[in-house]
Structure 1
Amino acid sequence: MYLIFFLICFIASAIGAICGIGGGIIIKPALDASGAMSVAAISFLSGCTVLSMTSYTVIRTKLEGASKINMKTGTPLAIGAAFGGIAGKVLFEGLLAAFPDKSRIGVIQSVCLLIITIGTLGYALNRSGIKTYQMENMPICLVLGSILGLLSSFLGIGGGPVNLVILYYFFSMSTKVAAENSLYIILFSQVTSLVSTLCSGNVPRFQPGLLILMIAAGISGGICGRLINKKINDKLVDHLSVFIMVVLIGINIYNIWKFIH
């Protein structure tokens, strides 16, 4: 089990670092499909893995002086994501308390992920014909960031392709620039989500060794993903993102079926 978890987290984190999707949108449904742990434990561990990967990637890029983060819009988005991360965690814990049958929460998360992924795939396939904007209004940035943070925290995915759609559409960012800004936003939302969980005392049960392993996979995946991202162009990143979304649609459909039955 440990080897399988490491491979899933490593591959997901590498893809997340390349595409700017965080990796949680792969880790969460993949581990849900395995049925190895509770929904709450998977959400928590997925979030910690994504946090480790984004922390390494964002800090390393900053130290190298190669950051493409637009601080004027990226910081308000990240601050909004931080507050949204808290709201998403509160919503998730509220549903945990409301539903004795935890599989219902799994269904809700999987349906939300399926809808988001299908919508994002549709945008990606028609992106060239969609008009984009150059948003700089701070209140709007805060609102958009809050929405992204809420989805990220509630679903335990760390971010996902929806971040990229927002950055493409509202801020006219290129693929690689959007990927880096997305990781910056994810970092803030995951920090506040983790702090919220720790402060509320609602940390689910899991094997400590598994957490260490997944964090190691997140960081090593981030290292690998950064190296690959430097060597490929925007077009290849776009193709990889589309492929991953198609795979995720299939996984989420399976998870919905599994949780219902």
Structure 2
Amino acid sequence: MIFGFLVALITSVVGSITGVGSGILMKPILDLFSGYPVDVINIMSSVTVFAMSLSAMIKELKNKVTIDYNTVIFLSSGSIVGGIIGKRIFENVKQNYGSGIVGAQSAVFSLLMFLIIIYLIKGKNFKTYKIDSKIVVALVGLILGFVSAFLGIGGGPLNVVLLILLFSMSTKEASLNSIFIIFFSQIASLIYGHITYGMPKMNFILLALMVFGGIFGGILGRYMANYFSDSLMKKMFMGAIIFSFVMGITHLSTVVF
């Protein structure tokens, strides 16, 4: 229980600062060390990510930060639909292939992290855009919500990269907007999953401790982010992605071999 709380707290602090969400760091750690089934890990990760994003979002709203609400509203609307679709496909794959979903998640997760690392290394060679079409913005949100729910990670790193590429945001702006998208995609996935499939058996005391760690970590992370430069946040973002990639590859190797 102490391990679960510390994992939730530390990953939520880093996830809240960088906008990657705690799930991208938490899920591979739980996959590798917890010994819980994939559906239990997904729920623990998703609920903790939701708690982190909610606390971070409330803190930023109290600070009256500047947010591009037009972009966030349509991205979040798309992410709600994507979150429901991602949750449904995850459950269908799990029912049809059983434990095979673990390997599929790890493979997709590792590939996603690898592509993001390539972007971070070659980022200066990529042209950025300023998309205004509300339909396109909603479609981007749908994709982000789908990935978030299917992988159970919150989708943060993909959020940040696409927000920078498609909307010409700085890393700091993208990390803040990513928190809002994570909140809406996770709440849609959790509500839909609970109503449709119910709640798997788990240790609810551990879940409560992880939620507390997520809330405290979300608040602390956004407080710390106010004092970090965009350059430092880029380095932290890169470090979080590399760590997640290594953990994902390690878990994939244990599943395959």
TM-score of Structure 1 vs Structure 2, range by shorter chain: over 0.9
Identity of aligned residues (%): 33
SS state at 1:221 partner: helix
Aligned length in residues: 257
Question: Structure 2: which 5+ residue stretches go unaligned?
Answer: none
When structure 1 is superposed on structure 2, of 185-194 and 30-39 the one drifting more is 30-39
Matching of residues 49-88 of structure 1 within 5 Å: 49-66=48-65, 68-88=66-86
Structural RMSD (CA): 1.0
**Equivalent residue number for residue 21 of structure 1:** 20
Q: 1:200-248 deviations in whole A, cap 9, x for unaligned?
A: 1332111110110110000111122112101110101100111111111
| Aligned pairs for 1:90-105 within 5 A | 90-100=88-98, 102=99, 104-105=100-101
Q: What's the offset of the Cα at 1:155?
A: 0.2
Q: 1:224 aligns with which of 211, 220, 223?
A: 220
Question: What does 1:146-185 correspond to in 2, within 5 Å?
Answer: 146-185=142-181
TM-score scaled by length of structure 2: 0.97
Residues 70-89 of structure 1: CA deviation (Å, up to 9, x unaligned): 11111100000000000000
Q: CA deviation at 1:130?
A: 1.6
Residue 251 (structure 1) aligned with residue 239 (structure 2):
no
Alignment check: 8 A CA contact 1:13 1:221 kept: yes
Q: Aligned residue for 2:115?
A: 119
Change (3 A) 1:54 1:130: same
CA offsets per residue over residues 99-140 of structure 1, 9 Å max, x none? 23x2x1111111111111111111112222321000010000
The within-5 A match list for 1:170-249 is 170-249=166-245
2: CA distance between counterparts of 1:96 and 1:236? 39
Distance in 1 (CA, whole Å) between partners of 2:241 and 2:193 is 29
For residues 158 and 132 of structure 1, the distance between their equivalents in structure 2, rounded to whole angstroms, comes to: 24
Contact 1:72 1:136 (8 Å CA) reproduced: no
Give the Cα separation in 2 of the matches to 1:242 and 1:157.
17
The residue type equivalent to 1:164 in the other structure is V
Per-residue Cα deviation, 1:156-194 (whole angstroms, up to 9, x for no partner): 001231111110110000011100111111111001001
- Quick check: 2:156–2:179 contact (8 Å CA) kept in 1? no
C-alpha distance in 1 between matches for 2:197 and 2:246: 34
Runs (4 or more) in structure 1 with deviation over 6 Å come to: none
Tell me the CA shift for residue 142 of structure 1.
0.8
Task: Measure the CA separation in 1 of the matches of 2:37 and 2:120.
Answer: 32
Range that drifts further, 89-98 or 245-254: 245-254
